[in-house]
Structure 1
């Protein structure tokens, strides 16, 4: 009987240890997953709707605020220790709706992209989504000296009166810069050597909006936005683009974009896949394409094999607008476009980061 008691006690101890071990092994992946999905807020702006963000090679963070209403304090800022400083200075950011047009002042900045030590500031010249006041342009500044290095002004045949040149990607290998036009659908290409802009896929089905509204928790956001998101696959030499009001991802080889005949260019357009409705897009060095699922508060990514996955979802994501990558993190803005009313003075708009997909 005594031996039997020992056996029972030993069995209980062994079973208890095994149960604890199994519970521990089962809980570990959950904890790891939680850690990798943690969103870190970098900075918050009250009453100032941020759309663009870009991080330099040394970790400096730049952001922009489109002039969609009066009261925009700055068009371009650098985030320094949690505060924002006008870039390159206050004078460049001093234009307000109703002022006369000035050559060296930001009018309606929609995007900023830092490449090496240069920042490319895309000025739509279209405040309030109205017709352009003068030709859209790109100002290029040295981020260290804050000096203006170049100004690239779109020639008349590269834009329309209702154009809203939205985003850009740099192709250093081919000395090109690619742009989307979300106002009047199409792509624009800048030859950096000649400084000439060329417009392609103008009003083409691949650059046009597919729907007239998006749905957020059974509420319609009625707007028809054309070609918006753009991303460059430097390994496979392909440019990807997507209408904001739509669910189709397209691509075209950068070689095809050098063709002279528009029909030949159109024939090279490739439908990639159906996706959620996104805004900005970006590739990481592993070939993953990141984009938002605006209607469901998610950030998605598409692997090189074509499979689509959710990186993160939840209320901490509120219209993930623009992406930038630095040291294993995906930086993104919450521009909350679908939530905006006339008065945004009490609304918070944020820049955040989250770890890249493994």
Structure 2
């Protein structure tokens, strides 16, 4: 591949383990919702403050795939029980959630990403994005990935919606790569397939002195619409990359690869999010922390460090408050019926 260059020439690439980032002041972490026996991964809050969460089908005991959490703490299946009623013995169709990994609320719509890959046993049907109108909770459109944009071992993991360019961008953590969806035509294209920037860099992480053996490729994703950049990161890795969205959309594969930029060496994260000020937030999975990267300067700090942060999986921002899920992935070694999984929030002030 062509030599990777820095997006910001003055950002020095440092080893995150040998040069630990400074720690910000202690942050108050508040529990928003706790689930017992249901492993929550995704969280997203609409412009009107509606809070949604999802549960991937990583075990046979998933009671519901998508829920809305009320202000009083109650959670209700979204959009209804029928959509959430599938089990492994049933046939699949386009009115059932099979393996939901992520939800994104934006402009009165909820985008539900269905991997169609339950229990990581392989894609049963083309991955899909279901779009619901939050004014009436009705399905308005279904986007179906084209055959050449995924693999049998794909696990389409996370997404960002680019209303400015009418696109959606996805990471594939099962088979390394990115996918671009045209929100108008519904067509999809795969890019950076098995590219060094989307491939995992290690086969394990170390958390609390214990090895978590797994290889997870391109996973975290964040969109900068002001500067037209898409950031992405392998979960099993320590390198943050970015690529211009104009080139991602219009460029050839060779051009896209040429314009991939290594931004910074970082801790190993899961999900990521960019705030309105251009700060990138992501987990440090190995150290029970959430990191903050000022992209314009390259300054990286520990935004929050606390034993309560147990595999911060997905992030959402609403009214200057950061919400995240504790999916505790490294702690799951068997049945999860007695385990608890939380949604937490932290003020960005």
Q: Could you tell me which residue of structure 2 aligns to residue 90 of structure 1?
A: 81
1:264 to 1:41, Cα distance in 2 relative to 1, 3 A: same
Is residue 346 of structure 2 the alignment partner of residue 340 of structure 1? no
Is residue 44 of structure 2 the alignment partner of residue 54 of structure 1? yes
SS in 1 for 2:31: strand
1:345 to 1:272, Cα distance in 2 relative to 1, 3 A: same
Query: 2 CA distance for matches of 1:171 and 1:346?
Result: 39
Paired residues, number: 324
Is residue 59 of structure 2 the alignment partner of residue 69 of structure 1? yes
Q: Could you tell me which residue of structure 2 aligns to residue 283 of structure 1?
A: 274
More relative contact order, 1 or 2 (CA 8 Å, 6+ apart): 2
CA positional deviation for 1:100: 1.3
Q: TM-score, normalised by structure 2?
A: 0.91
Q: Give the ranges of 4+ consecutive aligned residues of structure 1 lying more than 6 Å apart after TM superposition.
A: none
Structure 1 residue runs of 5 or longer lacking an equivalent are 1-31
- Select the residue among 310, 319, 343 that pairs with 2:302: 310
CA positional deviation for 1:260: 4.1
- Select the residue among 288, 310, 319 that pairs with 1:297: 288
Structure 2 residue runs of 5 or longer lacking an equivalent are 1-23
Q: Highest CA radius of gyration, 1 or 2?
A: 1
Query: 1 CA distance for matches of 2:306 and 2:266?
Result: 18
CA positional deviation for 1:33: 4.3
CA positional deviation for 1:345: 0.9
SS in 2 for 1:92: coil
CA positional deviation for 1:144: 2.6
Is residue 216 of structure 2 the alignment partner of residue 225 of structure 1? yes
Q: TM-score, normalised by structure 1?
A: 0.89
CA positional deviation for 1:102: 2.0
- Select the residue among 268, 274, 279 that pairs with 2:259: 268
As a proportion of its length, which structure holds more helix?
Answer: 1
Query: 2 CA distance for matches of 1:155 and 1:323?
Result: 28
SS in 1 for 2:248: helix
Is residue 147 of structure 2 the alignment partner of residue 156 of structure 1? yes
Query: Do 2:127 and 2:156's aligned partners in 1 also have CA atoms closer than 8 Å?
Result: yes
Q: Could you tell me which residue of structure 1 aligns to residue 20 of structure 2?
A: none
CA deviation string 1:54-104 (max 9, x = no partner) = 001111100000000011110000001211100000000000122211221
